Amino acid sequence: MKNKFLEIKSPIKAMRGLASISVFLVLLSLLACQQEKQVKTDNGPLDVVATTGMIKDIAKVVGGDRIKLESLMGPGVDPHLYKATQGDLGKLTKADVILYNGLHLEGKLVEIFEKLAEQGRAVYAVTEHIDKSRLLASEDVENKDAYPSDPHIWFDISLWMEAVETVRVALIKHDEAGRETYNKNAGAYIQELAALHEKVKADIASIPEGQRVLVTSHDAFRYFGNAYGIEVRGLQGISTVAEFGLKDVSDLVSFIAQRKLRSVFVESSVSDKSLRAVVEGCKARNHNVSIGGTLYSDAMGEEGTPEGTYIGMIKHNVNKIVAGLK
Ligand SMILES: [Zn+2]
């Protein structure tokens, strides 16, 4: 979906953003001089920092008790807009291994990760070993330079299995003594994910073909659509940075009314305001469409709940989608 009305940033806001990034980078290089932590030197658990909850979950499963784990972004946090805090600086400087998504998902942190990598720190994008031919090109023409590829790869479980593999290799590289544990944990997890991949295919196929359309707030589900055979439409493009316009709303209203869709879905990390406008628009055209529930798109649920894990998040989404469209 193309965004006709791009967000125009106030110059003061933009400068303030730049200033805080520069301060951050200076602090990082100062701290880096004091502690070059390329290879783990102490005997304590490996200190791992992940950006999103989904990546943290991989590290938790694969690393188990051998690692000490923190993430930067909690439930409901939008990674496209996320800016680093002072607390993040502390976490990043003492980390033995830093894991992030890459493909520009963490748009406002890229500079920091690049800087850390330049300093020889162990920074890994979990998407870095995915074959380029499996990445979906961005359809977002206006953001094409910033987003050459769609970053939401976790919604194709078979691609996420490659991210698990990257984490496994990274953990072994920095904690060779844990090789056996990491191999065992990753192997079991990949088997579980492979089974889930097949189950999701079957569940989505159970929706009548004409109703197999997933309408959401932003284009986070293109990999999901591709892998599991469901058409996807987002009101905003693959990033939430650019705002949607009135034409986007009216185009989507026409599409939903024409296809007589029963449900659209809001996302836990994106405001539901935009989709509520679509529901109202459909009503004005005498087509009743309801909100089929909240999907977890770019962030997982609360820790300690089933949706606070990657597998639980996928199951929740698929259950909502099937119940809303079937
Ligand atoms: Zn997104």
Question: What confidence tens digit (pLDDT) does each residue in 93-110 have?
Answer: 999 999 999 999 999 999
C-alpha 170, offset from chain centre: 20
104 C-alpha to center of ligand 1: Å? Answer: 10
Check if 12-196 and 199-325 are the same fold. Answer: yes
Residue that is written with structure tokens 């088997």 in the block? 191
* C-alpha dist (Å) from residue 22 to 84, 112, 119, 158, 173: 12, 10, 16, 38, 31
Residue 141: predicted pLDDT: 57
Largest separation between any pair of C-alpha atoms in the chain:
66
Residues with CB under 5 A from ligand 1 (ion): 220, 298
Q: How far is the CA of 151 from the centre of ligand 1 (A)?
A: 7
Whole-number Å distance, alpha carbon 173 to ligand 1 midpoint, is 30
CA of 238 to the centre of ligand 1 (A): 6
Q: What is the DSSP letter of 268?
A: T
Cα-flanking dihedrals φ and ψ of residue 223, to 5°? -65, -35
How many angstroms does the Cα of residue 202 sit away from the middle of ligand 1?
25
For position 138, what pLDDT does the model report? 80
**Which portions of the chain are predicted below pLDDT 50?**
1-18, 30, 32-38
Backbone phi, then psi, for 242, in 5-degree steps?
A: -85, 140
- pTM score: 0.86
Residue 26 CA, ligand 1 centroid: distance in Å = 29
Exposed/middle/buried for residue 102 (C-beta within 10 Å: 0-12, 13-18, 19+): buried
Q: Does domain 199-325 have CATH number 3.30.2270.10?
A: no
- Domain 12-196 matching CATH 3.40.50.2300: the answer reads no
Q: In what order do the strands lie in the sheet with 213-218?
A: 231-236, 213-218, 263-267, 290-295
- For ligand 1, the distance from its centroid to the CA atom of residue 176, given in whole angstroms, is 34
Amino acid at 245: G
pLDDT at 11: 40
Q: What is the DSSP letter of 82?
A: -
Q: Where are the alpha helices (DSSP H) in the chain?
A: 11-34, 53-63, 86-94, 110-118, 157-174, 179-205, 222-228, 246-259, 273-284, 310-325
Looking at residue 148, its pLDDT comes to 82
Domain boundaries, the chain: 12-196, 199-325
Please give the angle made by the CA atoms of 144, 167 and 312, to the nearest 5 degrees.
Answer: 80
